[in-house]
Chains A and B, each alone.
Chain A
Amino acid sequence: MSFFFQELVNGITTGALYALVALGFSMVYGVLKLLNFAHGDLYMVGAYIGFFVIQLFGGAADLSIAVPLLLVIMFVVAAGLVGGLGVAIERFAYRPLRDAPRIAPLITAIGVSFFLESSALLLFGAQFRVYNTSEFISLNSGIRIGSVTIDSVQILVLVLGLVLMTGLRMLVNRSRLGKQMRAVAADREAAEMLGINVNFVITATFLLGSALAGIAGVMGGLLFNTVTSTIGFIVGLKAFTAAVVGGIGSIPGAMLGGLVIGVAESMVTGYISSTYTNLIVFGLLIVVMLVRPSGLLGRAQLQKV
């Protein structure tokens, strides 16, 4: 039984990470109907920023500031810079194509993804950058219940992930900006006619979604230690799948989708074999999509004819 709980903890932690990235996918799709394939690369940029913040304060083995303060700075700087990068991408790469056929921004998103990946390779080099998290957060500093271990980084990821997802849900459901986002998502032209500043809402959506990806990047760096220019691809793919499974455009759906994929991966690896993880997990997802084409929490769209 303890094996089950260990795999559950591992799966939920990874799932929380997927969910945070999936939220950005889902939010952008909700307001723009754009599949932003560059979103996984924003995760990569966030991970690099976290790494360089650690270096700025002396490196993992010789930190010049307290660890809690370091973590706050890492998350804030990554959220700010990656959020800003997301806004810049929207402003210069996607906005000029807003009224173009939908294939154009889609191709542009793929181009932006390669641009970010190649730029990171040129700027930061091919070598792996390593967080060395265990140098400043002890591997034994978490909770141990029987043989189930939940280390401090996993706890941090779970708690912060939950706080951010709850906060985002409240923002979208209860704030004025959230109401505007929902209005733009429902009908952009009608929202504009009602006096909503659509450009501002879209910019805010990119800012929030990208900031979450940046924070997820730092979380990924802390959890998995390794940063290279290519890490965004696989996380982006999983997060995109999570968003679709949960119901793209649905914020609770993205959260649920992320957790479902994370836990499914973990359980298949643990109980069957890692060899078949992708085969079985994505096979299950195909079944889910066949049964519920709009995703687990997505709503079927009415189409005017």
Chain B
Amino acid sequence: MKAVAKYFSDIFRGVKTLLTGMRVTGYYFFHARKEIITQQYPENRDTLSMFERFRGEVIMPHNENNEHRCTGCSACEVACPNGSIEIIWSRKPDPETGKKKKRIEKFVYHLSMCTMCGLCIPACPTDAIVMGKNFEHAVFDRSQLTKILNKPGSRLMAGVEE
């Protein structure tokens, strides 16, 4: 008798769980218009915004006076596991004050070697570099993947070193 009861309760439970599953997918089907996740990529370029934690490439933000926050301490270069970052710095005299001071000539970033691990970002003591959201990196020549992140003529933002 117990076995018979189990047989029918099995059927009942099976049907119930299957219907539960069908209700979930059925909801998706009939609400597909507003719930669809897929985006049509090249068409939606104008409105496309990647999520906040997306790591596309390393960029160095500059303010409107063409100033960045990089002191050339090379902490990011040390932190990088692949050697994607090379900082070429110098002690040339400052054109305004005449004092000799360490500053960056070129912040070289090899995108071709970068794995987007993001270890350089927390390593930076002055928050000079961040992760950009651009992911369209295809080029026809790999030399274009070696980028100079500091813009020409840019200088260190005042007050970063204090």
Answer yes or no: are A and B bound together in one complex: no
